[in-house]
């Protein structure tokens, strides 16, 4: 089954990486138009000291939505879209490792954005907390409107999308490289995407944890962020553990793109490529150890601040190294000033200015001066907008002929670059003169000396915004009316253009034809019609959006949403059992050091990494509030140790049953597999029944209720998240049992048993941490 040309059905059901890439790119451009319009409103409001365009509450919501959309729904996803299209092409893979999950990542991203925008239409409007959603402003006491809860859940939904996407990218780059694409030959852009996704894997689970805690605070009455012991510092810890790496998540793909563009248009190899990769890795590693520099003003101990000041300064070394690599690539080059090259050079200019102004804030004493001022706004817009947008627009122009087979209007592209570059600087440079103007204020009547700089910035915004809009219009016009492009109009040497992965033999067309032949062959040999199109990813994502909306506004709607999700997941399993989805098999290529590990297993291990970080973040929150609390109820007073111990033994035995099931099928015993799975399932169900049906009612009857302080808040939330994981494991076991009874497992083919076994052992290990922490220590 194939859909030719434009068809709504095709776009709703596609799992092809190129299609998904285009969907990401188009959607993220839609979001920049929304987020950019909000920015224009902000700038018009600030054009004069006292403006009545936006009342304070609306201004706060406008700023918040602008920040959230631009960072999370535009900048990152545009990079993800480009990566979706070009990483498989650069490494010679036929598709992403998990195409259906890839489609689901996109749909979750889209509908999370729809949810976020819908908060504006709820009573009381959306969040007015700033994009950082700082506590206690994010609590029901100060922001009672349901829009804040829905915004938090939309953000959490995006975090799920990003995590799935990261697992997919990392697995694809580790396991799907064509022969010849060794680590040494991996293109700079793919390297940057690998590092970006590793960062995403570590950065998004903490924010997901924070959003879970915020949601329980707002919906179930827990007190993580409304209590003194948790409060603003706990939120800041969790948020900035995500928030600072997010800067690099946005910047690294842009740097990777700049490297590709510079190499092509300077006609020189990337200067010190090995060093470039080492620096990328160093930035990735260091960026998860600098977050406390966002909290220098919170009164955290001086030693801690000093340590994080050092790590902040340290990260500037490899980061500036990356910039030097790019600049030195131009040395002795024959430079062609095409539109993408101009944008790449503009991006380098901005990264230098943004980087230098960032170093200032690594110094504690200077941070006292700049913190919360427009100086900081100037710094991060030079990094986020200047580096990232100019880098990403460079990519759109650079790869435009590859995606569309057409050429854009080069002259118009260059003119728009110069207007954008000038407009950008008129907009953001004045911010460096506003180091005494606080962020997030809607009027400054008492400080008229700020007016000239604000007016200049607004003029800049009225130049830069429309120029960016016209840039997208230029690309659209190129797509509709542009001249046909040659196969490699730039004379680029990278693999996505040449198709030469080994340096000679294998051409991209060959790979594509290969892929097509394989799909055709599989379809011919299959008793059922196989397809690479499926409605399930979009259905699950719609179900998730409906569920979350209902969760906040009207419970029956949530039940409907849950029903849709469950029905779609069951259908997904059925499709797998019936072998209906046409899985594209990659040819054996460069897999080192994962030669003997299947892509599914690599994927599950990477998923477990994100789970470790998620539970680690929740445990950090628990340890943090417990250490800060002057009194904490003794475990024996609030918990029944006998029940807790019994449940531990039940779960340990369930794990044993699961590993014995795996062992049985390894030796070919289907009967042993069935017994093991049923045993593990029964014991897992018993664990949940004891926890939810016996233990919790007893504790609640004794007055230990979720809203009764930090101790019950932590207990019920962490236990609840763990119970949810047990539930997911049981759902997986149901699928395995059904498949086992239909006789589809053999000694040679039982990957899913092994994968669920890994997950179940992990759930068991988490309990081995929770049990002593809550019941005994």
Partner 1 sequence: MNRIFVYVLVWAVMVAGTLLQVVIFNSSATANLKNLGVVAIAVAEILLAATFYLNLRYEPKILALFPILAILAVVVFITAATLAVGM
Residues forming the site for partner 1 (CB under 8 A): 202, 206, 233, 237, 241, 288-289, 292, 295, 298-301, 303-304, 308, 593-594, 596-597, 602, 605-606, 608-610, 612-613, 616-617, 619-620, 623-624, 627-628, 635, 641, 645, 648-649, 652-653, 655-656, 658-660, 663, 757-758, 761-762, 764-765, 768-769, 771-772, 775-777
Residue nearer to partner 1 on the CB measure, 583 or 608: 608
Minimum distance from residue 766 beta carbon to partner 1 (Å): 9
Residue nearer to partner 1 on the CB measure, 304 or 747: 304
Q: What is the rounded CA–CA span in Å between residue 744 and residue 739?
A: 6
Q: Is 332 left (phi over 0), alpha (psi -120 to 50) or beta?
A: left
Residue nearer to partner 1 on the CB measure, 234 or 463: 234
Residue 594 near residue 602, CB atoms below 8 Å:
yes
Residue nearer to partner 1 on the CB measure, 57 or 597: 597
Residue nearer to partner 1 on the CB measure, 663 or 682: 663
Q: What is the DSSP letter of 119?
A: G
In this structure, the number of other CB atoms found within 10 A of the CB of residue 489 comes to 13
Between the CA atoms of 547, 550, 551 and 555, what dihedral angle is there, to the nearest 10 degrees? -120
Residue nearer to partner 1 on the CB measure, 298 or 520: 298
Task: Give Rg (Cα) of the chain.
Answer: 27
Largest CA distance in the chain: 82
Q: What would the two tokens of residue 55 be?
A: 């009342």
What are phi and psi for residue 588, nearest 5 degrees?
Answer: -70, 125
CB burial of residue 178 (10 Å; 0-12, 13-18, 19+): buried
Q: Tokens 């409001």: give the residue.
A: 45
Q: Tokens 């002593």: give the residue.
A: 772
533 bridge partner residues:
14
Q: Is 92 left (phi over 0), alpha (psi -120 to 50) or beta?
A: left
Minimum distance from residue 771 beta carbon to partner 1 (Å): 7
Minimum distance from residue 417 beta carbon to partner 1 (Å): 39
Minimum distance from residue 610 beta carbon to partner 1 (Å): 8
590 bridge partner residues:
177
Residue nearer to partner 1 on the CB measure, 206 or 391: 206
Q: What is the rounded CA–CA span in Å between residue 293 and residue 315?
A: 12
Residue nearer to partner 1 on the CB measure, 698 or 776: 776
Minimum distance from residue 206 beta carbon to partner 1 (Å): 7
Minimum distance from residue 132 beta carbon to partner 1 (Å): 17
Q: What would the two tokens of residue 197 be?
A: 């996704």
Minimum distance from residue 757 beta carbon to partner 1 (Å): 8
What are phi and psi for residue 186, nearest 5 degrees?
Answer: -65, 130
Sign of torsion over alpha carbons 19, 25, 26, 31:
positive
Q: Tokens 């099931």: give the residue.
A: 661
Residue 248 near residue 163, CB atoms below 8 Å:
no
Contacts of 681 (CB under 8 A, 6+ apart): 730, 733, 734, 737
Minimum distance from residue 760 beta carbon to partner 1 (Å): 8
Residue nearer to partner 1 on the CB measure, 306 or 486: 306
Residue nearer to partner 1 on the CB measure, 699 or 764: 764
Residue nearer to partner 1 on the CB measure, 608 or 723: 608
Q: What would the two tokens of residue 698 be?
A: 């007893």
Count CA atoms closer than 13 A to 87's CA, side-chain side.
35
Residue nearer to partner 1 on the CB measure, 117 or 609: 609
Minimum distance from residue 691 beta carbon to partner 1 (Å): 16
Quick check: bond before 593 cis, omega within 30?
yes
Minimum distance from residue 687 beta carbon to partner 1 (Å): 14
Minimum distance from residue 707 beta carbon to partner 1 (Å): 24
Residue nearer to partner 1 on the CB measure, 323 or 643: 643
Contacts of 538 (CB under 8 A, 6+ apart): 12, 13, 103, 107
Minimum distance from residue 141 beta carbon to partner 1 (Å): 24
What are phi and psi for residue 738, nearest 5 degrees?
Answer: -60, -45
């Amino acid at each position: 089954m194939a859909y030719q040309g434009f068809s709504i059905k095709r776009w709703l059901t596609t799992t092809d990486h190129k299609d998904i890439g285009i969907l990401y790119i188009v959607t993220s451009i839609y979001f920049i138009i929304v987020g950019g319009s909000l920015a224009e409103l902000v700038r018009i409001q600030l054009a004069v000291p006292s403006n009545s365009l936006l009342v304070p509450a609306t201004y706060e919501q406008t700023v918040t939505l602008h920040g959230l959309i631009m960072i999370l729904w535009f900048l990152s996803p545009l990079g993800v879209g480009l990566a979706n299209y070009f990483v498989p092409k650069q490494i010679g893979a036929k598709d992403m490792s998990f195409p259906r999950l890839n489609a689901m990542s996109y749909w979750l991203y889209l509908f999370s954005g729809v949810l976020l925008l819908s908060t504006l239409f709820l009573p009381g409007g959306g969040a007015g907390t700033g994009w950082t959603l700082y506590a206690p402003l994010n609590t029901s006491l100060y922001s009672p409107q349901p829009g804040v809860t829905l915004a938090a859940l939309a953000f959490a939904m995006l975090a799920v999308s990003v995590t799935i996407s990261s697992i997919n990218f990392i697995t694809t780059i580790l396991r799907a490289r064509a022969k010849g694409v060794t680590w040494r030959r991996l293109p700079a852009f793919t390297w940057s995407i690998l590092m970006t996704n590793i960062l995403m894997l570590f950065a998004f689970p903490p924010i997901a944890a924070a959003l879970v805690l915020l949601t329980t605070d707002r919906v179930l009455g827990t007190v993580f962020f409304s209590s003194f012991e948790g409060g603003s510092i706990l939120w800041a810890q969790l948020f900035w553990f995500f928030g600072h790496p997010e800067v690099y998540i946005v910047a690294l793909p842009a740097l990777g793109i700049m490297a590709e563009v510079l190499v092509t248009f300077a006609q020189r190899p990337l200067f010190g490529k090995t060093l470039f990769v080492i620096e990328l890795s160093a930035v990735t590693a260091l960026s998860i150890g600098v977050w406390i520099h966002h909290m220098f003003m919170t009164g955290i101990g001086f030693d801690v601040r000093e340590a994080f000041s050092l790590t902040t300064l340290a990260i500037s070394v490899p980061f500036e190294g990356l910039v030097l690599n790019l600049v030195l690539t131009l040395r002795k080059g024959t430079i062609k000033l095409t539109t993408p090259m101009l944008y790449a050079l503009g991006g380098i200019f901005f990264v230098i200015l943004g980087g230098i102004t960032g170093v200032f804030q690594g110094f504690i004493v200077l941070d006292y001066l700049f913190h919360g001022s427009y100086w900081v706004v100037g710094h991060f817009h030079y990094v986020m907008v200047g580096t990232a947008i100019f880098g990403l627009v460079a990519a759109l122009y650079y790869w435009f002929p590859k995606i569309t087979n057409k050429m854009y209007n080069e002259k118009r592209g260059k003119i728009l670059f110069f207007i954008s570059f000038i407009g950008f600087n008129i907009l953001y440079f004045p911010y460096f003169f506003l180091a005494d103007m606080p962020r997030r204020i809607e009027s400054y009547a008492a400080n008229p000396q700020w007016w000239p700089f604000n007016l200049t910035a607004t003029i800049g915004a009225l130049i830069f915004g429309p120029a960016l809009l016209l840039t997208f219009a230029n690309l659209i016009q190129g797509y509709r009316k542009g001249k046909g492009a040659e196969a490699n109009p730039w004379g680029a040497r990278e693999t996505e253009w040449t198709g030469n992965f080994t340096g000679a033999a294998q051409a991209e067309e060959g790979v594509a034809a290969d892929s097509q032949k394989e799909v055709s062959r599989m379809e011919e040999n299959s008793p059922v019609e196989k397809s690479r199109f499926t409605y399930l990813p979009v259905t699950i994502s719609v179900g998730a959006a409906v569920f979350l909306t209902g969760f906040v506004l009207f419970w029956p709607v949530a039940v409907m949403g849950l029903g849709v999700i469950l029905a779609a997941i069951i259908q997904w399993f059925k499709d797998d059992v019936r072998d209906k989805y046409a899985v594209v098999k990659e040819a054996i290529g460069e897999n080192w050091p994962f030669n003997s590990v299947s892509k599914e297993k690599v994927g599950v291990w990477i998923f477990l990494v994100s789970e470790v970080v998620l539970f680690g973040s929740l445990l950090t929150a628990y340890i943090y509030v417990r250490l800060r609390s002057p009194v904490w109820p003794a475990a024996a007073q609030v918990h029944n140790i006998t029940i807790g111990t019994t449940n531990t033994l039940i779960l340990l035995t369930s794990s044993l049953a699961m590993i014995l099931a795996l062992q049985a099928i390894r030796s070919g015993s289907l009967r042993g597999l069935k017994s093991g799975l049923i045993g593990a399932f029964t014991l897992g169900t018993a664990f949940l029944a004891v926890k939810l049906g016996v233990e919790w009612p007893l504790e609640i009857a004794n007055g230990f209720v979720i809203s009764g302080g930090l101790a019950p808040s932590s207990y019920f939330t962490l236990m609840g998240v763990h119970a949810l994981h047990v539930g997911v494991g049981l759902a997986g076991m149901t699928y395995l049992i059904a498949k086992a009874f239909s006789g589809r497992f053999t000694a040679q083919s039982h990957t899913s048993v092994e994968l669920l076994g890994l997950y179940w052992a992990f759930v068991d290990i988490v309990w081995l941490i929770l049990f002593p922490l809550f019941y005994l220590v």
